[in-house]
Structure 1
Amino acid sequence: MKDNYIPLRVNRDFGGIVSVYFDFFKQNIKNFTNVFISYNGVFLIGLLITSYLLVSGFLGMIAQESSNNSFGNGNEFEQDYYIYLGVGGFLFVIIFLGVAFLNYSLSTSYMIKYVETRDENVDKKEVWELAKSQFGNIFVFVLLLIPIYFVYFIAAIILNIIPLLGFIAQYIVQFGLTAWIGVSFFDMLQKKKGVTEALGEGWKLVTTNFWKSIGVNFILGILLGILLMIALIVPGIIVGIYTFHVVENNVDYSHSIVSTIVYTLGTCIVLIIAVYGQCLSQFVNGLLYYALHEKTYNENTRATIEQIGQND
């Protein structure tokens, strides 16, 4: 056993889960980032291309609307911008589904291997092999998220009609749904279960510990959001300063290579950080899963007692 290993299969209360999350984060952030970059290369390139298409389309549309350009064939150029936006939007949806498919798998597999090896230096190849072995179930799981979230969006619209209470209820449902999906996904990979069986187990664990599940996702969701906002400060300042320069000097941004590069890189950085944040949020539900599972079944506690008995 490594001295610096952080035991995760422990029945922790709300404060304990929040505290151990940041201990796990600090210890594993460097190694997991290496895993993330290694297996997200294609998607990162795809996000860069998507950012270029979306930025080109938006800049052109804004310039067209504000009459900053004097085109001979305005309708033709406007049609080109719609094509950029359409293709960029389509690629974004495809890449988003691919990212959800991959990174939910990587973050979950990483934490499972961390527990199995009891070592912070998790082998990225082992992480990939575990995720790859469950790709069939993962794919079905991701597909099931489409109708699940469709029902959620309908419920959210209905709840938002109700003043104040509906707004609060909508967020309770949102964080409950996040906990259910995250815990279910973790159970599927940890126990190698089928999709419906894992969703049933996740439902049982979350509903029997409902407010703990809501609270953990709410508090850590806010803290992670602040952390990601801090990461965006530097690129945000750069883009803001450049935008001020564009406005003050009447730069023809729709035809400027520099403008396209600056806004494309800025958009791409935002998307990459959002994708990375998705992985960090799944770590939240991984810790929640281990805490709730141990509280319900006491598997680790019983194994420890049995080991003590054998040593005696």
Structure 2
Amino acid sequence: MQKNYIPLRVNRDFGDIITTYFDFFKQNIKKFTNVFLSYNGIFLVALLIVSYLLVSGFMGMIAAERSTFGLNRPDSSEQDYLILIGAGGILFFFVFIAVAILNYSLSTSYMVKYDEKEGNQFDKKEVWGYARNQLGNIVLFVLLLIPIYIIFMIIAIICAIIPILGIFAQYIIQYFLIAWVGVSFFDMLQNNKGVTAALGEGWNLVTKNFWRSVGVNFVLGLLLGILILVALIVPGVIIGFYTFHVVQNDVDFVNSVVATIVYTLGTCVVLIVAVYGQCLTQFGNGLLYYTLHEKTYNIHTRKKIEQIGESL
């Protein structure tokens, strides 16, 4: 049986990268979603807890604000709601770091195994096993991103001061950073490199192909953003109608179990979709990595030429 395989190690131009990405997406979406759900179970529960804390806190704060106008009287003090929001925010920070480590690893490992097996005929345990073997480097990589992003925020603030051109510069730097981080992470897992070596290689590949790297991340970010918005239409409509009902009927939403469930599940769905979108973004940077690596080193092209020479 012929494998339904999309070669990744090809020097593609801008348009081909976008087209190939969606071909890869359609072919692997079902299997990767299974991998995603299998290894994110505990974090999905954690996101549900985070959503509950944040929703309870914010609903309480809204009720507290309304009470100042004599419209309602919350059962708990405003300080209690601030504690809920603070606890939810702190928990969200740690869950976000853990989720970033896991899902950047899963999406990258999935693509590495796809390239290695020349198709998606592999078990999901192989994806996790590959990522687990490099867990130390992965954690160190994510920790190094903290100062990198702090520097980026400082640069972004400086750019924001510059009228018009500063906005464009800020977005260019943002998509360059996404490309650099994504390509570097992919190089680290693909070649089992150290963190600094991978960041150096990623910098080399992306800076030599600056506009292609920025453009691919901009276009894919825009298209994936649209897909995410489409995925959120149904829960958005449900929450919108329920909010209209709450406002029109002056429902005591702070003490309403239904309101808590609706808003908690809605917030949780948004967070889960955002996490899943992060994985899909890394697929784009994986395809970009293979393209830039092949353009720079021509390894796959030389092997094909050698194979043709041997067959003659």
**TM bin (shorter chain):** over 0.9
Aligned to 2:73: 70
1:2-17 superposed matches below 5 A: 2-17=2-17
Post-superposition offset of 1:82: 1.1
1:279 aligns with 2:287: no
Post-superposition offset of 1:2: 4.1
TM-score w.r.t. the length of structure 2 is 0.97
Aligned to 2:120: 120
Structure 1, residues 66-107: CA drift from partner, whole Å, max 9, x if none? Answer: 114325xx7x52121111111100110000000111000000
RMSD (CA atoms): 1.1
The answer to whether the 8 A contact 1:9-1:290 is kept is yes
Query: What is the rounded CA distance, in whole Å, between the counterparts of 1:204 and 1:262 in structure 2?
Result: 48
Post-superposition offset of 1:122: 3.2
The answer to whether the 8 A contact 1:2-1:119 is kept is no
1:1-312 superposed matches below 5 A: 2-67=2-67, 68-70=71-73, 77-312=77-312
- CA gap of 1:174–1:88, structure 2 versus 1, over 3 A, is same
Deviates more, 1:298-307 or 1:11-20: 298-307
The answer to whether the 8 A contact 1:31-1:121 is kept is no
Supply the AA of the counterpart residue of 2:221: G
The answer to whether the 8 A contact 1:110-1:122 is kept is no
Q: Secondary structure at the match of 2:301?
A: helix
Query: What is the rounded CA distance, in whole Å, between the counterparts of 1:61 and 1:280 in structure 2?
Result: 35
TM-score w.r.t. the length of structure 1 is 0.97
Runs of 4+ off more than 6 Å: none
Structure 1, residues 219-271: CA drift from partner, whole Å, max 9, x if none? Answer: 01000000000000000000000000000000000110000000000000000
Query: What is the rounded CA distance, in whole Å, between the counterparts of 2:265 and 2:211 in structure 1?
Result: 40
The answer to whether the 8 A contact 1:105-1:138 is kept is yes
Post-superposition offset of 1:123: 1.5
Post-superposition offset of 1:121: 3.4
- CA gap of 1:95–1:2, structure 2 versus 1, over 3 A, is farther
Post-superposition offset of 1:307: 1.9
Query: What is the rounded CA distance, in whole Å, between the counterparts of 1:17 and 1:225 in structure 2?
Result: 18
Post-superposition offset of 1:309: 2.2
Supply the AA of the counterpart residue of 2:186: F
Q: How many residues align?
A: 309
Post-superposition offset of 1:136: 0.4
The answer to whether the 8 A contact 1:205-1:293 is kept is yes
Tell me, which stretches of 5 or more residues in structure 2 are unaligned? none
Q: Secondary structure at the match of 1:254?
A: helix
Structure 1, residues 110-144: CA drift from partner, whole Å, max 9, x if none? Answer: 00000000122332111001000010000000000
Query: What is the rounded CA distance, in whole Å, between the counterparts of 2:289 and 2:54 in structure 1?
Result: 38
Identity %: 69
Query: What is the rounded CA distance, in whole Å, between the counterparts of 1:37 and 1:274 in structure 2?
Result: 14
- CA gap of 1:2–1:188, structure 2 versus 1, over 3 A, is farther
Query: What is the rounded CA distance, in whole Å, between the counterparts of 1:275 and 1:16 in structure 2?
Result: 26
Supply the AA of the counterpart residue of 1:108: T
The answer to whether the 8 A contact 2:63-2:73 is kept is no
The answer to whether the 8 A contact 1:31-1:122 is kept is no
Supply the AA of the counterpart residue of 2:199: L
Tell me, which stretches of 5 or more residues in structure 1 are unaligned? none
The answer to whether the 8 A contact 1:54-1:85 is kept is yes
Post-superposition offset of 1:306: 1.5
Supply the AA of the counterpart residue of 1:70: R
